Structure 1
Amino acid sequence: MKKKYIIKDARKHLVEQIDSAEGIEGIVMQDNLAKNTKGLSAVIPKDNDGYCTVYKMDCDDGLGLMTVYQVYPGIQLIYNDFEATGCKWEDTLGQNALEINHCREGREGSRLLSGSCLYLGEGDMSIHTMDNCASEMAFPLKHYRGISIVINLELVAEYPPQTLAESGIDILEFKEKFCAGGQCFIMRAKDEIEHIFSELYSVPDCLQKPYFKLKVQELLLFLYMVDVTKERQREMYTSPQVEIVKEIHKKLVSDLQERPTIEELSKEYLINTATLKATFKGIYGQPIGTYMKEYRMKQAAVLLRQTKSTIAEVANQVGYENQSKFSTAFRDILKVTPAEYRKQNMSE
């Protein structure tokens, strides 16, 4: 089992860590996050002092890892790497545990106890109390990479990091500031967030402990200065809206030769066209037309690599009767023509 690891590539990380987990007997809970938690198929201690533990998560249709670092008493930094559409678990974390999430790649969705659903895109950050979200995460693009920072407010108030103590900041006030009335605070991608989080995705092992401490304190000082009244919040969607749009997405990708219009989908699924367009973009990050064009081209690329179908046949399979229009669309997305793409992949 590897003792050191730099998280640079999500897919490589998933495979290497899961391979190293084979043969582990029993589950050893070594940090507050995992205590009384169900939904884990393996726990992999990476050191002897409990500083870092890797959790292999139960995902129905893919792989998921959470690499947890105990940065301060009551503060954990977690790398999330998922190649799945979702993950569920059971825990007993309460209302005085605050979770800060940053989305690096893909998209991540959460359902609040109110029934509202929120989605983070690349660069976005959210803050909520742990008891306000259902114990599940959704990854609409079947890929998610990000960082979570979990703060036990009472423990941190009792044993604050040095910078927090010197500044006189009351960490307990963060709950009322960002999560008053059970709300979830969402900050759109901006330079300040990128500055804090970007460097955390490529930290050498020898610098992890001091660097994590530095960045966590920097984040807390930044959040103290945030004026929540001036931040434009991400939209939220109701659970029924989300479920309808997921069904529409399933219909769209299940038969690429069909091209239903938004109006037709709206009538079939009894959803307002404006709501359909807004909710689809909120979940999947792009307008329906843009998303489906990219999806078709990605599927076409698979067919060009893995089958001997002609370019005209591939075009038809992904919903294009006109080969010329297909070639133009393919080049728009993959920056090469279908013929060039096939030739390059055959030579490789």
Structure 2
Amino acid sequence: MAVFINKSTQIDFKLPATDCGNEGKMKWIVYDDLFHAGYIDIWSRYLPETIFRSTSFKNQDTVPVKINYCFRGRCEVLLNSGVTTFVVGDELAIDYGTSQNNEEAFFYPTAEYEGIELILYPSEELGKILSFNGKENIINEITQKCTDRSIPFITVAEERIRRCVEDLKDDILGQTDSNLLLMDIIKLLYLINGMSFKSDKRRTFCTSSQVDIAKEALGIISADLSKRHSAAELAASFGISESSLKNYFRAVFGKGYSEIISEIRMRKAAELIRENKENLGKIAETVGYQNQSRFSEAFLKYHKVLPMEYKRISRC
């Protein structure tokens, strides 16, 4: 039988949004130095530094097993090798010591991400808690599968795993009894242990310089959306070809150059409309449209509603 636990700690973080009105949050259920279960809902590109300063997530002596499932969005992860890879919607990632864990390690290029994360610190005590019969150590079996890997194992989740992480989400958010949540975690671990870790889907990796160029280019664009920068112009400023810059954008942000810029403009426009400080003509100019008709067309295409109607709805 599994060893039940009597006490856990709940930690909540509020996460400010980027270019949209949604406020994100993280909710963690912490079981001392054994394991943490968290729900993550992010509407920004970076995590606030307060999370990394939290003493609840520091355990320097043991390398954790980190299990992530992505419901929505995209997360870029910096690996110890210096390159980045990513996790996107409906993917499951299992990592044992191959990724970094500092403020620079996580980046959410589309400014949105929803997922579940388990952080488990392998030990004899944890092995007993996660075992049904008191003998097999499920967490050790998973770490052994990961030991020779230099990158996380990332794959599209099977239906049973999707159902299991949905239960985890409901139990974390619903403040369910700790032992019911524990049962969900045990079930997920047994499902993961039954998977083959050799069936990775083909991954995309980016070097640090490629990531830096893509982020810096996006920063230049975002700093003043009233200006329009062509890909050729920005590429020349970095000493690379236009096709290279577009490839970097696609690799880092998961979307094309024009698509990601249009998305930023439309999110900013929606934010300005909600704030109701400027008329629609001025807002159109602020996000790079001299022609209000074209602005309305772009806004309708992205938000599925015209700017004037969005303004009316946001006042309700």
Please give the TM-score of this superposition, normalised by the length of structure 1: 0.71
Give the unaligned 5+ runs of structure 1: 1-48
Pair 289,218 (structure 1): closer, same or farther in 2 beyond 3 Å: same
Of all paired residues, the percent bearing the same amino acid is 23
**How much does 1:331 deviate?**
0.7
Instruction: Write out per-residue CA displacement over residues 294-323 of structure 1, whole angstroms, 9 at most, x where no aligned residue.
Output: 221122223333346443332222112222
Q: Which residue of 1 aligns with 2:211?
A: 242
Cα distance in 1, alignment partners of residues 162 and 243 from structure 2: 31
**How much does 1:109 deviate?**
3.1
**How much does 1:220 deviate?**
1.4
Q: Which of the numbers 11, 18, 34 marks the counterpart of 1:74? A: 34
AA matched with 1:201: K
Q: Which of the numbers 322, 326, 343 marks the counterpart of 2:295? A: 326
**How much does 1:77 deviate?**
1.8
Superposition map of 1:1-348 within 5 A: 50-54=7-11, 65=26, 67-70=28-31, 74-80=34-40, 85-87=46-48, 89=52, 91-94=58-61, 96-130=63-97, 132-136=99-103, 137-155=106-124, 158-159=127-128, 161-163=130-132, 168=136, 171-188=139-156, 191-203=159-171, 205=174, 207-307=176-276, 309-346=278-315, 348=316
Indicate if the aligned counterparts of 1:245 and 1:280 stay in contact, CA closer than 8 A: yes
Indicate if the aligned counterparts of 1:56 and 1:66 stay in contact, CA closer than 8 A: yes
**How much does 1:232 deviate?**
0.2
AA matched with 1:184: P
Pair 253,188 (structure 1): closer, same or farther in 2 beyond 3 Å: farther
Q: Which residue of 1 aligns with 2:3?
A: none
SS at match of 2:295: helix
Indicate if the aligned counterparts of 1:331 and 1:338 stay in contact, CA closer than 8 A: yes
Cα distance in 2, alignment partners of residues 329 and 261 from structure 1: 18
Indicate if the aligned counterparts of 1:110 and 1:134 stay in contact, CA closer than 8 A: no
Cα distance in 2, alignment partners of residues 86 and 100 from structure 1: 18
Pair 246,170 (structure 1): closer, same or farther in 2 beyond 3 Å: same
Instruction: Write out per-residue CA displacement over residues 234-255 of structure 1, whole angstroms, 9 at most, x where no aligned residue.
Output: 3222212111111011011112
SS at match of 1:182: coil
Give the unaligned 5+ runs of structure 2: 1-5
